A and B are shown apart, each in its own frame.
Chain A
């Protein structure tokens, strides 16, 4: 190469640096606007049933709070008076890619806070980085208990209770409503099909631990299935489960995986042969409509989505009717969960502003949110675990039934389990608590 080339290359390179340097001057926001990144699956198998409804839930509530049209206690306009500009982003592509994007959000877009994340894998990846970059982050949906049990987090909050309660409530529902001591030991066998990653592994582990406490005579199958996340094809797993003697099948499948599983299992008569308990499959009940099998024990991870859509709480009726008006569909579990994170953030900002007497700093917002109690759509949620960063709330399960007259899916025999019944007291590790027989639980 000639010296000329070297000069050309260097000058082209310098120009390139200069251009990208000047193209993106940081937009400076006054205190009347804040910028928040909202991350959910916008593409891929988790987009349709989870990510898009989640984004819509956040969007609806953000717009309403910005305009001051949301009912009490969220009727005060803005977030500590400021208008929130949301930047919606895609959660696809794995934890590593999400970490890179998170750094971009913080350092390039200069956001004031981050809200969202559905996949437990992504939350585990983002958690340490959020603390490293000192960015207030509110996780909405992900459920792995490891997030706070491995390490306390300084800048990370989660408005969604973890998988322990979902699994314990499922186990309790099965023990109370189905096994009731009238069956033989062989009839009381259970198994599961769960995705092979943090959420699926934890969900089945705690379901199994819960069954051992609620119904020690019931036996777990030796062959629970753990297909890969986003596998999409479950022929072999369905065969294996069908041949298994266990009658009860626990599943924490979510996203397109759950819909694929339901469709593939249904044609083989799986739901007539087994009692299926799903901790998070509510989204498919609406998307599949009357094709969805009756008699599936369905959880929605809290008092959200399918199990509470007829609840008459004013906040809930407002949300359901506005959501249906704007998006022509029922709000699903993730819509509620994302909306709830936005609401918690708003309340914390307002609270911090009130005590500071001016627009709050991030540290003030964090100390306001720590241990905060806030009104959700149906119930009240408290950040009482994980050092005041992890919320707990009640969990409900019901049985699916398609209402032919109304042309809409419904749930019957709904049971709600209080947080004190299915979560360990603050500072106690879930696994130890369950293994010790859940001391101090209150289940009224």
Chain B
């Protein structure tokens, strides 16, 4: 599955871009900017998860379930077991979300289209209701998370930033390897004709289940890293339907064209939000909504299609 993956063009581009970003972020950019890159890269993992589902025409309106589950797994492990190691945190977040995704996958793999979307939304709101009501889980206040450590030493912001960058590179390699494998190639086949795929001898439900668990793991890891980099979790910013909506928003904004697109989209989203808050504190939601409208009208393939257009233009000039 991983054979020749490092020769893959998208993987090479992604590694290159993230590497440049890490160097810039560590040495040149002011801290608030590396913060935004850090949040963007974390959120991008969840968007990547959504993108993988989306390529089979499965749109989840409840991915904040895994995002929040990963984040709360990190928070609760700190509260009850004192876990602050960043590697452990990431593992816990991914494993918790993966297990939950595996369990729910048995139900969700049977559904498609709007039924899939609404059912996943319903599951996410069940978790929201639990978190918001339970006082020992912090109810709507959430919980604060202490700075991460790495084998006992406290991790600075820059170190955390680089760590997240490396996780993103690994996730990209893994996701691309998956998409290139025969399981991954089933993606488009399932989208085209499920019955034919069954006749070829593959189980559609199983393929979707695996895909769903991968997607859940990515979202869980995103939540865990987000929790570690923000230092706070609460149900309104982590599990509410509007968070799922944001993830879908970023997916549409990024486009499905490339494995790097979710991260670029998520980073741009963080910047838009930062400036929307700063410039229009009373109407920031309108700016974010307006951006989405503009993208749907003028660039329905997402931001990635803009890059492709640039490339296309240049080829024409060269001819």
**Residues on A close to B: CB < 8 A?**
1-6, 8-10, 12-14, 17, 20-21, 26, 42-43, 87-90, 93-97, 99-101, 103-104, 107-109, 120-121, 124-125, 127-129, 132, 196-198, 201, 228-229
Q: Does B114 touch A at the CB level, under 8 Å? A: no
- Knowing A4-B311, A21-B29, A103-B35 are in contact, say whether A43-B237 is a contact too (CB < 8 A): no
Residue of B nearest to A95 (CB): B234
> Which B266-283 residues sit within 8 Å CB-CB of chain A?
271, 274, 277-278, 281-283
Q: Would you call B231 and A99 a contact (CB within 8 A)?
A: yes
Q: Would you call B24 and A12 a contact (CB within 8 A)?
A: no
Q: Would you call B281 and A90 a contact (CB within 8 A)?
A: yes
- Knowing A5-B307, A107-B30 are in contact, say whether A96-B238 is a contact too (CB < 8 A): yes
Q: Would you call B230 and A5 a contact (CB within 8 A)?
A: no
Q: Report the separation of the CA atoms of residues A124 and B283 in the bound assembly, to the nearest whole angstrom.
A: 26
Chain B residues positioned under 8 Å from A87 (CB to CB):
278
> Which B225-272 residues sit within 8 Å CB-CB of chain A?
230-238, 240, 258, 260, 264, 271
**Residues on B close to A: CB < 8 A?**
9-10, 12-13, 16-17, 20-21, 24, 28-33, 35, 39, 132-133, 135, 139-142, 144, 146-147, 230-238, 240, 258, 260, 264, 271, 274, 277-278, 281-285, 307-308, 310-311, 314-315
Chain A residues positioned under 8 Å from B13 (CB to CB):
1, 5-6, 9-10
Q: Would you call B236 and A43 a contact (CB within 8 A)?
A: no
Q: Would you call B139 and A43 a contact (CB within 8 A)?
A: no
- Knowing A20-B33, A26-B30, A108-B32 are in contact, say whether A5-B9 is a contact too (CB < 8 A): yes
Q: Report the separation of the CA atoms of residues A8 and B311 in the bound assembly, to the nearest whole angstrom.
A: 7
Q: Would you call B20 and A8 a contact (CB within 8 A)?
A: no
Q: Would you call A99 and B232 a contact (CB within 8 A)?
A: yes
Chain A residues positioned under 8 Å from B283 (CB to CB):
43
A226 to chain B, nearest CB (A): 8
Q: Would you call A198 and B314 a contact (CB within 8 A)?
A: no
Q: Would you call B17 and A196 a contact (CB within 8 A)?
A: no
Chain B residues positioned under 8 Å from A124 (CB to CB):
141, 144
Q: Please list the 3 inter-chain residue pairs (A to B) with the smallest Cβ-Cβ separation, ordered nearest first.
A: A94-B236, A96-B237, A108-B32
Q: Report the separation of the CA atoms of residues A223 and B101 in the bound assembly, to the nearest whole angstrom.
A: 36
Q: Would you call B132 and A9 a contact (CB within 8 A)?
A: no
Q: Would you call A96 and B140 a contact (CB within 8 A)?
A: no
Name 6 A/B residue pairs within 8 A (Cβ), A-sorted: A6-B13, A8-B310, A10-B13, A20-B33, A108-B33, A129-B231
Q: Would you call B271 and A5 a contact (CB within 8 A)?
A: no
Chain A residues positioned under 8 Å from B139 (CB to CB):
196-198, 201
A199 to chain B, nearest CB (A): 9
Most A Cβ at <10 Å: residue of B10, B12, B237 = B237
Q: Would you call B232 and A95 a contact (CB within 8 A)?
A: yes
Chain B residues positioned under 8 Å from A129 (CB to CB):
144, 231-232
Chain A residues positioned under 8 Å from B311 (CB to CB):
2, 4-5, 8
Q: Report the separation of the CA atoms of residues A21 and B37 in the bound assembly, to the nearest whole angstrom.
A: 13
- Among the listed B20, B133, B237, which residue makes an inter-chain contact with A228, where contact means beta carbons less than 8 Å apart? B133
Q: Report the separation of the CA atoms of residues A88 and B9 in the bound assembly, to the nearest whole angstrom.
A: 46
Q: Would you call A97 and B237 a contact (CB within 8 A)?
A: yes
Chain A residues positioned under 8 Å from B147 (CB to CB):
132
Q: Report the separation of the CA atoms of residues A95 and B138 in the bound assembly, to the nearest whole angstrom.
A: 12
Q: Would you call B271 and A20 a contact (CB within 8 A)?
A: yes
Q: Report the separation of the CA atoms of residues A181 and B307 in the bound assembly, to the nearest whole angstrom.
A: 79
Q: Would you call A1 and B10 a contact (CB within 8 A)?
A: yes
Q: Report the separation of the CA atoms of residues A96 and B147 in the bound assembly, to the nearest whole angstrom.
A: 15
Residue of B nearest to A52 (CB): B282
A106 to chain B, nearest CB (A): 8
- Among the listed A6, A20, A26, A201, which residue makes an inter-chain contact with B16, where contact means beta carbons less than 8 Å apart? A6
B199 to chain A, nearest CB (A): 33
Q: Would you call A121 and B20 a contact (CB within 8 A)?
A: no
B222 to chain A, nearest CB (A): 13
B226 to chain A, nearest CB (A): 8
Q: Report the separation of the CA atoms of residues A43 and B283 in the bound assembly, to the nearest whole angstrom.
A: 8
Q: Report the separation of the CA atoms of residues A114 and B82 in the bound assembly, to the nearest whole angstrom.
A: 31
Residue of B nearest to A1 (CB): B9
- Knowing A14-B20, A21-B29 are in contact, say whether A90-B284 is a contact too (CB < 8 A): yes
Q: Would you call B140 and A197 a contact (CB within 8 A)?
A: yes
Q: Would you call A89 and B33 a contact (CB within 8 A)?
A: no
Q: Would you call B35 and A10 a contact (CB within 8 A)?
A: no
- Knowing A2-B9, A4-B314, A21-B28 are in contact, say whether A90-B282 is a contact too (CB < 8 A): yes
Q: Would you call B277 and A90 a contact (CB within 8 A)?
A: yes
B240 to chain A, nearest CB (A): 8
- Among the listed B17, B230, B281, B314, which residue makes an inter-chain contact with A100, where contact means beta carbons less than 8 Å apart? B230
Chain A residues positioned under 8 Å from B141 (CB to CB):
95, 120-121, 124-125, 197-198
Q: Would you call A128 and B237 a contact (CB within 8 A)?
A: no
Q: Would you call A108 and B142 a contact (CB within 8 A)?
A: no
Q: A121-B142, A201-B135, A228-B140 are in contact. List 6 more A-B contacts (CB 8 A).
A: A13-B20, A21-B33, A90-B281, A94-B240, A95-B236, A125-B144
Q: Would you call B17 and A9 a contact (CB within 8 A)?
A: yes
Chain A residues positioned under 8 Å from B232 (CB to CB):
95-96, 99, 125, 129
Q: Report the separation of the CA atoms of residues A198 and B190 in the bound assembly, to the nearest whole angstrom.
A: 48
Q: Report the separation of the CA atoms of residues A387 and B33 in the bound assembly, to the nearest whole angstrom.
A: 35
A224 to chain B, nearest CB (A): 13
Q: Would you call B16 and A10 a contact (CB within 8 A)?
A: yes
Q: Report the separation of the CA atoms of residues A3 and B314 in the bound assembly, to the nearest whole angstrom.
A: 13
Residue of B nearest to A12 (CB): B307
Most A Cβ at <10 Å: residue of B33, B133, B281 = B281
Q: Would you call B142 and A96 a contact (CB within 8 A)?
A: yes
Q: Report the separation of the CA atoms of residues A144 and B121 in the bound assembly, to the nearest whole angstrom.
A: 33
A162 to chain B, nearest CB (A): 15
Q: Would you call A88 and B144 a contact (CB within 8 A)?
A: no
Chain A residues positioned under 8 Å from B230 (CB to CB):
96, 99-100
Q: Report the separation of the CA atoms of residues A103 and B161 in the bound assembly, to the nearest whole angstrom.
A: 15
Q: Would you call A9 and B233 a contact (CB within 8 A)?
A: no
Q: Report the separation of the CA atoms of residues A103 and B135 in the bound assembly, to the nearest whole angstrom.
A: 27
Chain B residues positioned under 8 Å from A103 (CB to CB):
32, 35
